[in-house]
Amino acid sequence: MNKILAVGSLAFDTISTPAGKAEKALGGSLNYFSISASFFTGLQIVGVVGEDFPKTHLDFLSKRAIDIRGVQVMPGKTFHWTGEYGADLNEAVTLSTQLNVFEHFNPKIPDEYRDAEYVFLGNIAPELQMCVLDQVRKPKLIALDSMNFWITGRRDALVNVLPKIDLLTINEGEAKLLAGESNVVVAAEKILLMGPKAVVIKRGEYGAFLFFGNEIFSCPAVPIRRVVDPTGAGDTFAGGLLGYLASEGAGLDRKSLRQAVLHGAVMASFTVEDFSFHRLQRLEKGEIHARFHSLVETTKV
Amino acid sequence: MNKILAVGSLAFDTISTPAGKAEKALGGSLNYFSISASFFTGLQIVGVVGEDFPKTHLDFLSKRAIDIRGVQVMPGKTFHWTGEYGADLNEAVTLSTQLNVFEHFNPKIPDEYRDAEYVFLGNIAPELQMCVLDQVRKPKLIALDSMNFWITGRRDALVNVLPKIDLLTINEGEAKLLAGESNVVVAAEKILLMGPKAVVIKRGEYGAFLFFGNEIFSCPAVPIRRVVDPTGAGDTFAGGLLGYLASEGAGLDRKSLRQAVLHGAVMASFTVEDFSFHRLQRLEKGEIHARFHSLVETTKV
């Protein structure tokens, strides 16, 4: 089994959507990513939580073959994000961001993690993403996710790390912001010139694009009848994508990447069906296979 | 060759987009639909123009195997739409609508058109769409397109005509409006219960959904590097879709419909590359085949 070393945020989310409200639900990019990927492979995670973070949740992660020795528990409170979604479920509005212990996060990679073949640099400061890369030995595949906040505020640091990664996963709007370009195809092509060998553009309910080797793959989204909460969909997507690649021991090749992106779309479609990762908690492997096959059916000519 | 009988508007469009401006360019749903469909099959069209409509354009249509005997030339001016697109090229803002001779349009179907096997009821008042159906004998397949204006203002008349058609093509926003439902999948399912046997939801740069026989087909859009003017994309899409079906003599079956929707997406992708139907005017059949095959490649797993 090829394990994934993943770094990102562990957080509380307070969210309201047209379907309801969740107060201080468990969230964070690393949480969604690792629970999603754990359906495919083992993980070693690095993050930080405050003393208020429930021990039961860390136990839950451990039971899913997620190695939590890299999770630091620091004096203070856990990162807490508050946001809401209106009728347009594709876009969250941030109401407050309390970084708390996450503000001084300094990812230390335990020695037993440093030989990981697959590395996921979740949505944290690009300087910290670089600092993780300095600590790993010889990964086979490095994936990175980022967001508006870093693209705008830490552009140079982000641009420095892009040539060192293999695969970038990014939202459509963020891709346009990063490339300074309003057309999504041109934006992706410009980003490829910035370093990553493959770029996956996440388009919410409209699916995803994979740009790799002069080819574009159009990945549809799973048609969902009721979206309850889109929070974490992007990280769940990345978890399915990288989890699939790691479980296959795959590198960057056309077929593996296309299959991986479809698995990302499938995993994301479950997350949005409930608040927090409640849907992932009750998800069974057979449901993943069934939804994967029906998603592929929606594209057959 | 199975001809299509098509009814809709012939118009002047004054349009501004981020890429530039076109003054009194030729447009209208029937224009886009029939030029697009004429790459696949012959047409018989019914519409109305004013005395200011260029005779040279009617000659151009005739040369494309489009029978224009059903086009009435009335005293007065041709329908003139003025609109603009901002950064979001998926949504037009109407600045003015001068109906002119179109206001009193009363579609009279020439006797030699009444045996048409394929009928396209373009975007006109639903009462007029019904009046066309009363004049045709035994069509094999009837498709209909509509818009917000009729969904809101002539809802009952539109609901009356839906059980009489086979295929509805409609924008995503219009589908939600018609169904009174914010989720696109649920909206399409509700519309199927209103009568049509198949529903195609057009999603602009995000492609299209086909709902038919308890199955969903996700049709990607052709990735376009520079969208100049989206005007007419939806009617061009319908023209490719119905033109393909007519050229194959196909009815409603899964494989034909999926191929037809892909041809619709391909034709629409050309239209948006230039103002008016300038791109269609210089389009060659080989380009359609090439783009169809590369679109199918973008979905291969």
Residue A183 contacts B where some CB pair is shorter than 8 Å: yes
List, for residues A259-274, the tens digit of each pLDDT value.
999 999 999 999 999 9
Residue B50's CB: how many other CB atoms inside 10 A?
18
- CB contacts < 8 A (A, B): 77
Selected residues 47-66 of chain A with any CB under 8 Å from a CB in chain B: none
Predicted TM-score of the model (pTM): 0.95
Residue A185 contacts B where some CB pair is shorter than 8 Å: yes
Q: Are A221 and A267 in contact (CB under 8 A)?
A: no
Residue A206 contacts B where some CB pair is shorter than 8 Å: yes
Contact between B298 and A218 using a beta-carbon 8 Å cutoff:
yes
Residues A164 and A139: their CA atoms lie apart, in Å, by 11
Average the pLDDT over B258-286 and give the result: 97
Contact between A301 and B223 using a beta-carbon 8 Å cutoff:
no
Closest chain A residue to the Cα of B263, Cα to Cα:
A301
Contact between B297 and A215 using a beta-carbon 8 Å cutoff:
yes
Q: What's the pLDDT score for residue B92?
A: 87
Contact between B207 and A203 using a beta-carbon 8 Å cutoff:
no
Residue A152 contacts B where some CB pair is shorter than 8 Å: no
List, for residues B229-254, the tens digit of each pLDDT value.
999 999 999 999 999 999 999 999 99
Residues A96 and A14: their CA atoms lie apart, in Å, by 9
Closest chain A residue to the Cα of B254, Cα to Cα:
A301
Indicate which CATH number applies to the domain containing B86: 3.40.1190.20
Residue A137's CB: how many other CB atoms inside 10 A?
10
Residue B183 contacts A where some CB pair is shorter than 8 Å: yes
Closest chain B residue to the Cα of A187, Cα to Cα:
B225
- What pLDDT band is residue B8 in, cutting at 50, 70 and 90? very high
Residue B2 has pLDDT above 80, yes or no: no
The number of folded domains in chain B is 1
Q: Please tell me which of the candidates B217, B296, B298 has its beta carbon nearest to residue A298.
A: B217
Q: Please tell me which of the candidates A185, A221, A255 has its beta carbon nearest to residue B223.
A: A185
Q: What's the pLDDT score for residue A90?
A: 80
Q: How far is residue B301 from each of residues A29, A97, A249, A287, A297, measured CA to CA in Å?
A: 28, 39, 18, 20, 11
DSSP-assigned states of every residue in chain B: ---EEEE---EEEEEEETTEEEEEEEE-HHHHHHHHHTTTS-EEEEEEE-TTS-HHHHHHHHHTTEEEEEEEE-SSPPPEEEEEE-S-TT-EEEEEEE-GGGGG------GGGTT-SEEEE-SS-HHHHHHHHHH----SEEEEE--HHHHHHSHHHHHHHGGG-SEEEEEHHHHHHHHT-SSHHHHHHHHHHTS-SEEEEE-GGG-EEEEETTEEEEEPPPP-S-----TTHHHHHHHHHHHHHHHHT--S-HHHHHHHHHHHHHHHHHHTTSSTTHHHHT--HHHHHHHHHHHHHTT--
Residue B226's CB: how many other CB atoms inside 10 A?
11
Contact between B218 and A215 using a beta-carbon 8 Å cutoff:
no
Residue B56 has pLDDT above 60, yes or no: yes
Q: Are B66 and B45 in contact (CB under 8 A)?
A: yes
Beta strand A198-202 pairing with A208-212: antiparallel
Q: Are A258 and A210 in contact (CB under 8 A)?
A: yes
- What pLDDT band is residue B88 in, cutting at 50, 70 and 90? confident
Q: What's the pLDDT score for residue B91?
A: 82
Average the pLDDT over B271-278 and give the result: 96
Q: Supply φ then ψ for residue A277, to 5 degrees.
A: -110, 35
Contact between A301 and B301 using a beta-carbon 8 Å cutoff:
no
Closest chain A residue to the Cα of B226, Cα to Cα:
A183
What is the percent of chain B with per-residue pLDDT over 90, rounded to a whole number? 97
Residue B174 has pLDDT above 70, yes or no: yes
**Residue A265: which of A238, A228, A293 has the closest Cα?**
A238
Closest chain B residue to the Cα of A258, Cα to Cα:
B301
Q: Which residues of B283-298 are buried (b: 16+ CB within 10 A; e: fewer)?
A: beeeebeebbeebeeb
Residues A119 and A141: their CA atoms lie apart, in Å, by 6
Contact between A301 and B183 using a beta-carbon 8 Å cutoff:
no
Residue B180 contacts A where some CB pair is shorter than 8 Å: no
The tokens describing B260, both together, are 């037809």
**Amino acid, res. B18:** P
Q: What's the pLDDT score for residue A88?
A: 83
Residues B12 and B15: their CA atoms lie apart, in Å, by 10
Contact between B217 and A258 using a beta-carbon 8 Å cutoff:
no
Q: What's the pLDDT score for residue A123?
A: 93
DSSP-assigned states of every residue in chain A: ---EEEE---EEEEEEETTEEEEEEEE-HHHHHHHHHTTTS-EEEEEEEETTS-HHHHHHHHHTTEEEEEEEEESSPPPEEEEEE-S-TT-EEEEEEE-GGGGG------GGGTT-SEEEE-SS-HHHHHHHHHH----SEEEEE--HHHHHHSHHHHHHHGGG-SEEEEEHHHHHHHHT-SSHHHHHHHHHHTS-SEEEEE-GGG-EEEEETTEEEEEPPPP-S-----TTHHHHHHHHHHHHHHHHT--S-HHHHHHHHHHHHHHHHHHTTSSTTHHHHT--HHHHHHHHHHHHHTT--
Residues A47 and B276: their CA atoms lie apart, in Å, by 54
Q: What's the pLDDT score for residue A91?
A: 82
Closest chain A residue to the Cα of B86, Cα to Cα:
A182
Q: Which residue has the tokens 């979905």?
A: B299
Strand arrangement of the beta sheet that strand B198-202 belongs to: B66-73, B43-49, B4-7, B118-121, B141-145, B167-171, B198-202, B208-212, B215-219
Contact between A185 and B225 using a beta-carbon 8 Å cutoff:
yes
**Strand-pair partners of B138:** none
Q: Please tell me which of the candidates A18, A218, A296 has its beta carbon nearest to residue B220.
A: A218
Chain A residue numbers touching B18 (CB-CB < 8 A):
182
Residue range of the domain that includes B134: 4-297
- What pLDDT band is residue A1 in, cutting at 50, 70 and 90? low
List, for residues A146-180, the tens digit of each pLDDT value.
999 999 999 999 999 999 999 999 999 999 999 99
Mean pLDDT of chain B: 96
Residue B1 has pLDDT above 60, yes or no: no
Mean pLDDT of chain A: 96
- The ipTM, to two decimals, is 0.93
Chain B residue numbers touching A183 (CB-CB < 8 A):
224-227
Instruction: Please return the burial class of A178, using the count of CB atoms within 10 Å of its CB with bins 0-12, 13-18 and 19+.
Output: buried
List, for residues A176-209, the tens digit of each pLDDT value.
999 999 999 999 999 999 999 999 999 999 999 9
Residues B76 and B79: their CA atoms lie apart, in Å, by 10
